[in-house]
Amino acid sequence: MASDSAIEWTDATWNPVSGCTKVSPGCKFCYAERLTKRFGQRDFTDVTLHPDRLDLPLRWRGPRMIFVNSMSDLFHERVPFDFIDQVFATMDRASHHVFQVLTKRPDRMVEWHGKHDGGRPVSAHVWLGVSVESASYAWRVDRLRQVDVPVRFISAEPLLGPLASSLNLAGISWVISGGESGGAASRALVEQTATGWRPRAKAVQWVRDLRDGCAAAGVAFFHKQWGGPRPTSGGRILDGRECSDYPANRTATCTEARR
């Protein structure tokens, strides 16, 4: 558990569930798996519910942006809908916070929303997002649009290929981009081709295209990192600027940078 976070686009993390299993190429060098192994905890594939953590956000008096389940996926198949209900009940009660829920399992999110939650609108202070690492997974955004929620977002991290032309940003409020960190085979978008990592020139254009597409659609854009052996290895500067927009502040401050 963490009352604060080093993740650039959030303030804190809350993990009422821990453990996960891999579902797509973006999972290959999962940071949550590395952390689990580093600290000698249970096997990462052991998806575990933590009812004792459910009320934690209610104890945080000051308003925060809270990333829900940074060490898991709330909509994992092994997380019962009844427990998901309890997580959402806590978020509804803690309306002084903003909650950011990110999943690679949007089909199950849609199923929960339609069958278990009755299709009711999700509270405005609860943002729902999907991870989209490449064009092959752009379909996750279509599933996200099936959920009645005021703020929908996309995490294109790790960005594994060109994506902008495959994204339909209708109904999307926020896009986060980021390079890969950790794992020798394809650590980042900033290293030499000879190592097997993705060349910087292509990666920069992939991110530029996302930035420009967001600007054209009026969608907030946040470039989190270029990646490398560590998340901060490559910095986060794009064309001389940091792109740090949020849904409530769609100023697209980074679009004035020189191409």
Each domain of the chain, given as residue ranges in start order, spans 1-148, 151-259
Q: What is the pTM of this model?
A: 0.90
The dihedral sign for the CA sequence 205, 206, 207, 208:
positive
The answer on pLDDT for 194 being more than 50 is: no
Q: Is 196 left (phi over 0), alpha (psi -120 to 50) or beta?
A: left
Average pLDDT of the chain?
Answer: 87
Give the pLDDT band of residue 141 (cuts 50, 70, 90): very high
Per-residue pLDDT at 58: 98
Per-residue pLDDT at 28: 85
Give the pLDDT band of residue 33 (cuts 50, 70, 90): confident
pLDDT tens-digit readout, 90-116: 999 999 999 999 999 999 999 999 988
Integer Cα distance of 247 and 255 in angstroms? 16
Per-residue pLDDT at 187: 39
Integer Cα distance of 4 and 248 in angstroms? 21
Of the candidates 74, 65, 88, the one whose C-alpha atom is nearest the C-alpha of residue 10 is 65
